Structure 1
Amino acid sequence: MATSMAAALAASIASAPSAHTAQAAAQPTYEPIPASMSKVIDIEAKIPLTCVQLDGLVVSKIVKHASSAPSFALGYLIGIDLDGVLEISNCFALPNVSDDDDTSSKSIAQYQKGMLAALKEVEPGDGIIVGFYQSNTLGAFYKQSLLDLQSIHRERLRHGGVVVVHDFTQASRGNAAFRAFRLTKQFHAEYRSGKFTTQSLMKNQLTFSSILEEIPVRVRTNPLLGAFLSTLTTPSSTTPASSFSPAAPSAALAPTFSSLDLAPQHMTSNLSNVLDALDEFKAEEGSLAYQMRNIVRDRNRANEHLLRRKEENALRVSQGLAPLPEEDIARLFKIQPEPSRLKSMLLLGQIDAYSQSLGSAASEGYVKMYSANAGNASA
């Protein structure tokens, strides 16, 4: 690493122009930013984000990718931030490759460059990569892969990078569930140190709710898109003579009655996910307790050995003998460090997300059942 850095510095120095040539060259001039645009153009990303604005095209792309992906959808978000609003104008999906293969990162990098070049040819000045989008099931997005992805790109992307989470189980019920998050500075500092011990969590007051910071999301639709959707839902008054059909539908899109289902199928899977997450959390807590007992036992043995050696040295000094050297405790007793509690925090976040989704679905089902019973009673 140091050799490559020195070589790069040497190359830059060797290719640098001489002092006389530098003085003779014309100095570039920069026009100042107008006062009316100084608060809008945020070059150093000092204006805090207040909202994430998704274009209708982005919403449709994410929903389509999430519905067709075999496991979960992952992709890049392209946009620009203006006056505290992160405007997401486009996105593209990432291919599903294995994480263990070294060629996967190279293929993803090449795919990313190709997609950015293609998008710039279609829409010049469309924006830069500002974050990622990811699909999840029943609102459970607290995953190690998400934290790793956000932590790696936090220093590279503007405003630390934003991840837009889409719950495709909500989309199947007719609710476009989109939420935007980014890592908090407090958690990112602790994540870089890699010490999620009990004392550090208590000192920094870290819980699963303080891992991510939620940013409000709004959707901006194009007037042309709204006009097109209105043609799909509005019955057509005239039909061409060549396409005459005696059983022509009254609208381009057939109505759906899935929202009136009194027994949704995802309720069972949601409850099963809650129970599985609780079992996994219980197993993780049992493993942490076993490791902590071993650590306490090794520490007690090391302290007892050190105490005996001090007493023996005190006795030898009183007898006029040279004290025995005190061996390194870490060499004699390999005391393991305290295990990380990050997985426990993520499991608690999963349980909380599953519980909130289950509570929302149960309350919605309760209202439907009440309305159905009230209708039967009045009939």
Structure 2
Amino acid sequence: MAAAPSMAAAIAASLPAPSTAPTPAAPTHEAIPASMAKVIDLEADIPLTCVQLDGMVVSKIIKHARESQGSSAHGILLGLDLDGTLEVSNSFALPQHINDDDDKSVKGIARYQASMLRSLKEVQADDSIIGFYQAMSLGSFYNQSLVETQAIQQDKLRHGGIVLVHDISQTARGNAAFRAFRLTRAFFDAYKRNNFSTDSLISHRLTFSSILEEVPIKIRTSPLLGAFLETLSAPSTSPVSEPSSASAQASVALPPSFSVLNLGTNDVNKNLEQVIEAMDAYKTEEGNIAYNQRQIAREKAKADAYVAKRKEDNAARLAQGLAPLPEEDVSRLFKIPPEPSRLESMMLLGRIDAYSKTLEETSSTGLVKMYAARGTANV
């Protein structure tokens, strides 16, 4: 997930910025008929209810994630928003760089993205950005970089855009897992205010489960893609009545898979390691927050003690008929640090929850396989 900051900067550079120059007078247009008002949604009044993925987009994302061999695969989604549905018709991958903090990497990704959009426009293909996709592993996609990228989109795109997450660990088990998300209004409001203090979380009723809201997904496949998948899944008939074993195996489009014999112990071990790492990171983050809070309480106590002492001195001076001492700005005398943000803690809690749910699924399946293997061995 280290490439997400560069992707956020690239998306911010390519998305249209609000213009400050005076614009010429807009031409007059005829009013849209009432019968077409619900279809032609110029002001984005129709709420987003569904994301429709083209089958070729699904294949391209799976191929990109498999070739990247990790959860760093990310790219741009292109398409059209129509009548409350985001129709994702195309996508392209963004390059990966080793040093994503380098400004040259950010500019390189932005130039590559702009070049791809120009090329798509020249061939009259869809070149409107409606979101981005991100590969993940073991169901965990909560991180600050993804939130920042989605916040940029949600602020500039017409319907806010979506982030499409693809679980490569589920795909390895034969399940093409895709989920679409966008930021909730409460979290987006707190993000724009850049305030994730305890009072802000309470007022917005924010937890890790209310950061993102899921949007339903539909996958549309063309007849050509359906026919291609059918040829992969169905064995081809041989004109020979009794083919040999070698020719019979060659006649099958897909080779036999022995993945069902895998007990899944490796996935459980890896999942447990991720849970432990996330819990250690959460414990460290909570320790840092507790340390900052103790510093804040210590400085506030010093400021309160100074104010109380100044009041006592002024009361004594007034009793003696002397002029009171002038009041001083406490914030200038005592540097009270701001309350630490709890955004990272929320992200880590979401990561732990995702890892735990995936561990529950994989461990239950693995236990059933282990008991079945044990029973077969005893027989």
Q: Tell me the TM-score normalised to structure 1 length.
A: 0.86
Residue pair 1:174, 1:259 contacting (<8 A) in 2 also: no
Q: Root-mean-square deviation (CA), in Å?
A: 2.6
Partner of 1:54: 53
Confirm or deny: 8 A CA contact 1:277 1:351 kept in the other structure. Answer: yes
Separation in 2, partners of 1:269, 1:8: 51
Query: Per-residue CA shift, 1:308-359, capped at 9, x if unaligned?
Result: 1111011112212222122221121111111111111000000000001111
Equivalent-residue separation in structure 2 for 1:245 and 1:130 (angstroms): 52
> Does structure 1 residue 68 correspond to structure 2 residue 73?
no
Q: Is the 8 A contact 2:117 2:127 kept in 1?
A: no
Distance 1:367 1:38 in 2: 55
Aligned position for 2:192: 192
1:365 corresponds in structure 2 to 366
Tell me how far apart the structure 2 counterparts of residues 370 and 120 of structure 1 sit (CA, whole Å): 57
Percent identity among equivalent residues? 57
* Contact 1:270–1:354 (CA under 8 A) maintained in structure 2: yes
Query: For 1:80-107, what per-residue CA distance to the aligned partner results, in whole angstroms no more than 9, with x for missing partners?
Result: 1222221111001111234433333332
Give the SS at the match of 1:158: coil
Cα deviation, residue 64, structure 1: 1.2
Q: Any conservation in 2 of the 1:143–1:346 contact (CA below 8 Å)?
A: yes
After TM superposition, the score normalised by the length of structure 2 is 0.86
Do the aligned residues in 2 keep the contact of 1:65 with 1:93 (CA within 8 Å)? yes
C-alpha contact 2:65 2:135 (8 A) present in aligned 1: yes
**Separation (CA, whole Å) in 1 of partners of 2:51 and 2:20:** 39
Structure 2 SS opposite 1:165: strand
Opposite residue 336 of structure 1, the aligned amino acid is: P
Mean alpha-carbon deviation: is it higher for 147-156 or for 166-175? 147-156
- Count residues in correspondence: 355
Is 1:85 paired with 2:63? no
In structure 2, the residue matched to 1:19 is none
**Paired letter, 1:107:** G
Q: CA deviation at 1:300?
A: 0.9
Is there any run of 5+ residues in structure 2 with no aligned partner, and where? Answer: 1-18
Q: Give the drift of 1:175.
A: 0.8
Match of 1:308 in 2: 309
Q: Which residue of 2 aligns with 1:205?
A: 205
d(CA) in 2 for partners of 1:8, 1:205: 36
* 3-state secondary structure, aligned to 2:90: strand
Q: Which residue of 2 aligns with 1:4?
A: none
The answer to whether the 8 A contact 1:80-1:127 is kept is no
Which amino acid letter does the alignment assign opposite residue 75 of structure 1?
A: G
What SS does the corresponding residue of 2:129 show, helix, strand or coil? strand
Match of 1:111 in 2: 112
How far off is 1:376 after superposition?
A: 7.0
1:34: how far off?
5.0
Q: Is the contact made by 2:120 and 2:127 (CA closer than 8 Å) also made in structure 1?
A: no
Do the aligned partners of 1:167 and 1:178 also contact (CA within 8 Å) in 2?
yes
How far off its partner does 1:38 sit?
2.8
Determine if contact 1:236/1:251 at 8 Å carries over to the other structure: yes
Distance in 1, matches of 2:90 and 2:291, equals 49
CA deviation after TM superposition for structure 1 residue 268, in Å = 0.5
List gaps (5 residues or longer) in structure 1: 1-6, 17-21
1:254 aligns with 2:255: yes
Whether contact under 8 Å (2:195, 2:341) holds in the other structure is yes
Listed as ranges, the matches of 1:191-270 within 5 Å are 191-238=191-238, 247-248=246-247, 249-270=250-271
Deviation sequence 1:251-309 (CA, Å, 0-9, x none)? 12212121342234211100110011111111111121121112111111110111011
Q: Per the alignment, do residues 282 and 128 of structure 1 end up closer, same or farther by CA in structure 2, a change over 3 Å counting?
A: same
With over 3 angstroms needed to count, the CA separation of the structure-2 counterparts of 1:239 and 1:317, relative to structure 1, is farther
1:246 shift after superposition:
8.3
What secondary structure is seen at the aligned counterpart in 2 of 1:336? coil
8 Å CA contact retained: 2:263, 2:366: yes
